[in-house]
Every structure is written in C-alpha cells, then in structure tokens.
Amino acid sequence: MFVAAWLLLPRPGTIEDNVRWLIEENHRDWRHHHWTTVTGALSWTPPSSCLSPTALRSGRTSVDSARYRHFICMKTHCQQSSQAAEIVGDTNRNQQQQEPPQAFELREIERLTTEVKIKLQSIDDGALSVSAYDTAWVAMVKDIRGTGVPQFPSAIQWILNNQHSDGSWGDADYFSVPDRLCCTLASVVALKTWNLCPEKCDKGMSFVRQNLHKLKYEDPEHMLAAFEVRFPALTEMAQNLGLKIPEGDPVLQELYVEREQKLKRIPMEMLHSKPTTLLFSLEALTGLDWDKILKLQHSNGSFLCSASSTAFVLMQTKNEKCLEYLMNLVKRYNGGVPHSSPVDIFERLWVVDRLERLGIARYFRSEIRACLDYVYRHWTSNGISWARDTVELEIDSTSMAFRILRLHGFKVNADAYKHFERGGEFFCFVGQLSQGVTEMLSLYRASQVMFPGETILEEARKFSYKFLKQKHSSGQIADRWFITKDLAGEVKNYLEIPFYAMLPRIETRYYIDQYGGDDDVWIAKVIYRMYNVSNNLYLELSKLDYNHCQKLHQLEWIDIQRWYNDCNLREFGLSEEKLLQYYFVAMSNLFEPEKAPERLAWARTMALMEAISIHFCNEANTPIQRSIFLHSFQTSIDHDTIRRSKPANTKNSLVKSILKTLSIISSEVERAHSKEVHQSLKRIWEAWLLKWQNQEDKQSIPKGEAELLVHTINLSSSLPASQDHLFCPLFLYLIDLINKICYNLHGEQDLKAGKKDREEMRIDDLVEEEMLELLQHVVQTSNGLESKVKQVFIAVAKSFYYTTYIEADTIKVHIGKVLFDSAL
C-alpha cells in the first residue's frame, strides 16, 4: 500500500523540467514572490526578476531562499490545464489557456467562496423543499370566515402544478414508496375536497393502488415519521370522499393494526397536558380536546412547527395564530409549504458541521460565528431543539450544538444530557423507546469533547460507541432521519479514529468522498431536502480547495526530500518513510497554504529530533561524544555569519544539519512574516539539548520534544516576534502538561514494543486524563493567552496521540489517500 502511494508522487526531475520550460518559454520573472491572502487562499503578484534557469537546471539553488521560491514557483505553474478545465467546462477553455492553472483555481475558489457567503448570509428560518403532503393539508383548509371557499388557493395551485408524470406527488429525484404514497393520497384528497381535476385524481389513485404493495419491501429504518398512523387516517378521508381504496390489501390491513396498537399506547392525558412529539402529527389523531390542545401552541402559532398539524388545528378551531403562521409560510414558499418551519437552529448547526468537515470553514469565520452566536442564545440547561423557542428538546441538535459550541469556546454544561438519559440509555426525545444511527453518532462525537469529571458524557460515550459498533458490525447503518452517500463510512471512520487522533486533513479527505451534496435526503413526515446543508456548491468548493492545497503539499514534500538529502539524514538512521510520516502529520494539522512556514518547520524539527534520538541511542556513543555534540552546537556561529557562509566551523555533521535547518526556517519565516527568529530558534534548541544532556536515561530521546515543537511552530507563525505569551502562567502550565502527555505517549509506545510491562503502568488512563485537561484549557476562553497559541498545543498533542494509537499500516493508507489521492 505504501509503495503504491509512493508511486503516485510526482518525480522532482519532471517538475523541474516543467518549471524550466515555463521560465524559458514564457519568460516569467520569479525571483521575489509577493503573497497575499484572498478569502483565505493564497494569491500571487508577478515579481520583477527571476531565478536563473541555469540554477534550476542544476537543481541547486541557495538553500535558505531560492529553494523555497522554487517550490512556490512550481506550486503556481506546474499543473496541467485540463485539470482546471474540468471544473468549469468547455466555455472557459480559451481563457484558461491564457493564464496559469493555479491562478485560475484561485479565481474559482474566490468565486465559489463568494457564492457560499451569499448563501450563508441569507440563512433565516431554514431553506427546505416544499412538502406535497403538508401543502395538501393547507389546501384543504376552508375560509375561516365561513364563505366556503379555499383559505389558501395558492396551495391548491401548487398541488395542481406539481404532479409527476406517473401520477404521484413527492420528492422528484428520490423515489420512496411511503413518501410518494403519503404525498399522493393527501394531494388527491385535497383536490377531491374542492372537486377539482378529476383526471389528476384518477391518475393519482391509480398510482396508489399500483404501488401500495411495495410498502412491505421498504426498509423499516427509512419509514416516514408516524406513517402507520397518518396513512390509514388519509385512506379513511379518501373513502369518505368517495375515492376507491383497496381495503382488502394485506399491507393496508397490517397498517390498520399497527395504528390501533400505537394509538392505544398514546397517553392522552399527557398529550393534552404538556408538549410532546405527538403535536407534530395531530392530523392523524381523534378525540382531541381543542381547548387543552390550544394551550400547547407554539409562540409562532404552530404546533411543533408542523405545517400539516397546524393546518388541521386551524380546520378545527379557526385559530387566528394558526392562520397567521400558515399565511406567512405560504407566502414565503410561493403557495407550497415545507413539512416544518422554522428549522433555524438545526440548519445553522449542520451548516457549520459540513463546512468544518469539508475543510473550508476558514473562508467563512464571520458567518460561522454569527451562526454560533445565534444558536448559543437559544441554548438551555437541558439542551436545545431544532427550532427556536421549541420546548421539545432533542439529543441530535443538542449534541451537535454542544460539540461545536464547546470547541469554539462557548460555555455549555454537560448536565444537559441528563435530560435524555433513562436507565443507562440515551434517547433522541424524552419518551422514545429506540435510537437512530445519526443521533447516536452526534452523541458519540459530542461525548469525546468532555472535560474532566463529566461522568454523564463518559456514560454517553460508552453507550453510543456500543450502539454504533453493533450497528456497524451487523451492517445495519440505515438511519431513520437521513439518507446520505456513505453513512456507513462515516460511522466506521469515527469508530476507528477517536477525536484526539482525528487530524483535520484526514477527516476532510474522507468526508469529501462521503458527503452526498445535492443527493442527500432527509426523513421526517416526508422525504425532504435541506438546501443550505446539503448542496453541491460546498462540495465543489471543497474539492477545488483540497486539490489546490494538495498540489502545494506534494511540492513541499519534494522540497523536504531535497533537504533530507542535503542534510544526509539517512546517514543518521532517519528513513525516508519516517520523514514522510512527519511531514504528513504536520500537513494534516496545518494544511492552509499560508501556514507553509509552520508546517515545514514542524516536519523538519521532528525529523531532526528523530535523527538525534537514533544517532545517540547507539551504544557506541559515549558521554564524551554527547558532550562534544552539545558544545559544538553551543559554540556555533551566529546567524549573520551563517547567512554569509556555510557553517563549516564544526566537525559534527549532525550539528551542521541542525544549524543549516535553523537558517532555512528563519529565512522562510522572515520572508513570510517579516520577523527575525534565528536566535530564538537556537536558544530553544540549546534548551532542549541541555535537557537531554542532564536526563538520567541518555539512551532515550530527550524529554521536552513537544515543548520544542510548540515553540518552533509559534516562532514560525504570524505571531508577534515579542513572544509575550512565553511569560503567561497558562502558557507555562500548558507546556508542562503537553510534556507530560508526550512522555506518557512514549511510554505507551514502549509498551507496544514490549519494552515495559503494562502492569507497571496505567498509560491509557493517564493520557486520557491529561488530554481532557488539555482540551479544557485550550477551548475555554482566557484573557492571558490568545486562541491561536493554545490551538498549537492541541494540534501537537493530537499528532503524538495519532502516531501512538493508529497502526502503522493505517497511517500509510492515510498518507496515500490524503497526500496523493486527489478529490474527484
């Protein structure tokens, strides 16, 4: 598998030839590149002088500057024009051939980003597809003033305009037998109520009779909400209007039996006394006390935000608030109505989740913040619902809100989950008797961002993990709320890779393949669409952005290999495979183009630490040799001398490699962020080597490698050169904590290698407790330390966690897919 992935890597010679051709044929001028950020992506301004073609032919340029410009140059111009042409089609081919493909990609990213921003800024009560079933109920309402005419003639017109060629109504692109039967029978009943279009009614009834038997082949998990109660009620209405229903059909007879059984279980006293999910389907119930029911009305005039249920109450009570709710809905949707409105909380949460998992959230920070501020205003001590001011809370929205809000620094209390727990089990709604896959997946993901002492989340994690594991093992991943491209793949990924090992780019690459876009459908009383949650616009932007970043990552990997060879790190025992793993982990955490300096510094630092560990774990290396190594580093030439000449005043070639690398890192940082960090880099390396010199076990890797990595990443970032955070008590505490985490993770690696006895250590428990504590300090707001600094700690900790607990073969698969497999 690793070899196969390796073969996908572009060869340096080929790319150099391409770069040389571009320079010689197009007379480009590349010496100084000026990079700016446009909606989060890199754009470039052509400079005034260029690298020497001779230098490129030789493959040798100045290590500290020209090589960096070299791979940036290749990133911008070495892609085939056909790749970009596939994105926009033949209409843009001529224009595309006149500009570098990467420049074209950046324009497309900006265009798509603008379109998504417009969509996000227009989010209000939710953008759902029109439900023929609910529109039919609205169409049945007679004028509440008693004139005998339709109250909503535009709803009738919608029904007339939206019959399919086979005679049915329902979702046009996804054929669900329950959906088509329910929508069709309701639409026919509506038309028959007003004695309209008998030919449409006949065609619709013909469809019902021909397809009724297919219900027995439907997956029970994909059955519509309360179908076994609502559809029999519709058949009785149809019969009362003189429509012919095949009463003797065994499928229909079975539905009648199921309805009677369910109605007997409904506690009518509870139905009339407090809001429950039964309010969502009042049109299917009889024997209701309307005075009591009206006391349970939502503040917006609806009954649990259901259009059909509210229409039925309006028929019975002529309630003005019901009328106002439906009038607003009919006006907004041009005659038709969705099955539920608003879905403002649900939509905002799922939009943020999709943007984050698709790897494009960085383009929409302000829009995401607006969504989360809105959600947080409606968070309660018992969780949250899918719509504002709805007292019927549910665990799916609660879990999505809890996880996202917590990770974005909002204060949310885990005690909310006590509302959904009963007898050691967790349910979507209070009073339910079963669980669905997607709400348990939301619960499982939320439970993994627990803080120390949150026992309710520990219980939720164990329960949801067991539920999902059983469902996945038995192949029963069909969900009662959602039909998507690869739900089984989503469940598998989250079961196999826990939160602390789920690196951002791994999650994104897999989710791009799993996200269904326009093809995703949702299940409630009907099959419906959520246009702001599931659409191809997000998917197109995600793929384009991913491939754009991946090309840069592949070119960086080529540059890392050159650095590896120039530093002769193979001589010190560092394999190219291990080098690839280090770059992959850095890239999977810090993938954004503008974070190239941090990413490259991370990978090089990890590689050098590994080389030192391998070299000095050799028993032939004496304490005297280690002292000479440290002394050689301490007396190394200063930064200015290094810039003017090669660091040839030391006899230790490994020290030469370290000094050379620090020079490369500092030059890249100065070019990207206009700050000087070389002396700071030397100081943190000296401090790290001193720890190694003073530790008792001279045969192991020096302690504090996580600390060195954190400092290096921060120095390489856009943070001010003053490094004020170094004096913050929280920063010092986090440094100590992450050093402990990495020390214990090394202990876990020793256990796996058989170097230590597991009975002597409780590594898993220690790491778990420390990771919970680290997460708590990172996500909670703090006046003393900015979020950007704290996020580095969680990224570094997750990278060590990933390499410790994920099997080597799985890591190779991830490398092949994330770094070399384009998103198609």
What is the spatial distance between Cα 664 and Cα 670, in angstroms, rounded to a whole number?
10
State the fold for domain 344-518: Glycosyltransferase (1.50.10)
Tell me the one-letter amino acid at 616.
Answer: F
List, for residues 662-719, the tens digit of each pLDDT value: 999 999 999 999 999 999 999 999 999 888 776 655 445 557 899 999 999 999 999 8
What is the spatial distance between Cα 29 and Cα 21, in angstroms, rounded to a whole number?
13
Establish how many alpha carbons lie within 13 A of residue 449's alpha carbon, considering only the half-sphere containing its beta carbon. 26
Whether residue 724 has pLDDT greater than 50: yes
Query: Each residue of 128-140: b (16+ CB within 10 Å) or e?
Result: bbbbbbbbbbbbb
List, for residues 186-200, the tens digit of each pLDDT value: 999 999 999 999 999
List, for residues 366-381, the tens digit of each pLDDT value: 999 999 999 999 999 9
Cα–Cα nearest to 618, from 651, 571, 586, 578: 571
Instruction: Label residue 356 by pLDDT band (50, 70, 90).
Output: very high
List, for residues 230-267, the tens digit of each pLDDT value: 999 999 999 999 999 988 889 999 999 999 998 888 88
What was the pLDDT predicted at 772?
A: 96
* Least confident stretch, 59-68, 671-680, 775-784: 59-68
What's the whole-number mean pLDDT along residues 207-228?
94
List, for residues 524-572, the tens digit of each pLDDT value: 999 999 999 999 999 999 999 999 999 999 999 999 999 999 999 999 8
What does residue 35 show for φ and ψ, rounded to 5 degrees?
-110, 135
What was the pLDDT predicted at 692?
A: 73
Helical ranges in 169-226 per DSSP H: 177-193, 198-211
Q: Which two tokens stand for residue 807?
A: 């099997």
What was the pLDDT predicted at 632?
A: 83
How far is CA 236 from its chain centroid? Answer: 46
What was the pLDDT predicted at 647?
A: 45
With beta carbons less than 8 A apart as the criterion, state whether 375 and 348 touch.
Answer: yes
132-332 and 539-820 share one fold:
no
Instruction: Label residue 282 by pLDDT band (50, 70, 90).
Output: very high
Cα of first residue to Cα of last residue in the chain, in angstroms, is 20
List, for residues 98-152, the tens digit of each pLDDT value: 667 778 899 999 999 999 999 999 999 999 999 999 999 999 999 999 999 999 9
What was the pLDDT predicted at 143?
A: 96
The DSSP element (H or E) to which 380 belongs, if any, is: none
Instruction: Calculate the CA dihedral of residues 601, 602, 608, 613 and round it to 10 degrees.
Output: 160
What was the pLDDT predicted at 55?
A: 36
Whether residue 41 has pLDDT greater than 80: no
What was the pLDDT predicted at 297?
A: 96
What is the spatial distance between Cα 626 and Cα 632, in angstroms, rounded to a whole number?
10
With beta carbons less than 8 A apart as the criterion, state whether 103 and 320 touch.
Answer: no
Mean model confidence pLDDT for the chain:
85
List, for residues 474-524, the tens digit of each pLDDT value: 999 999 999 999 999 999 999 999 999 999 999 999 999 999 999 999 999
Whether residue 97 has pLDDT greater than 80: no
What is the spatial distance between Cα 361 and Cα 358, in angstroms, rounded to a whole number?
8
Domain ranges of the chain: 2-121, 132-332, 344-518, 539-820
Place of tokens 């086979």: 166
List, for residues 69-83, the tens digit of each pLDDT value: 333 333 333 333 344
What was the pLDDT predicted at 613?
A: 84
What is the spatial distance between Cα 285 and Cα 316, in angstroms, rounded to a whole number?
12
CATH 1.10.600.10 fits 539-820, yes or no: yes
What's the whole-number mean pLDDT along residues 79-102?
51
What was the pLDDT predicted at 752?
A: 59
Q: What is the DSSP letter of 695?
A: S
Q: What is the DSSP letter of 595?
A: G
Instruction: Label residue 39 by pLDDT band (50, 70, 90).
Output: very low
Cα–Cα nearest to 197, from 187, 186, 207: 187
What was the pLDDT predicted at 762?
A: 56
List, for residues 12-36, the tens digit of each pLDDT value: 444 344 433 333 333 333 323 333 3
DSSP string, 703-769: TTHHHHHHHHHHHHSSS-TT-GGGG-HHHHHHHHHHHHHHHHHHHHHHHHTTSS-GGG--HHHHHHH
State the fold for domain 132-332: Glycosyltransferase (1.50.10)
With beta carbons less than 8 A apart as the criterion, state whether 662 and 681 touch.
Answer: yes
Between 20 and 418, the higher pLDDT residue = 418
What's the whole-number mean pLDDT along residues 324-348?
97
Instruction: Calculate the CA dihedral of residues 148, 151, 154, 160 and round it to 10 degrees.
Output: -50
What is the spatial distance between Cα 633 and Cα 659, in angstroms, rounded to a whole number?
8
List, for residues 617-654, the tens digit of each pLDDT value: 765 566 777 777 888 888 875 444 444 444 444 447 88
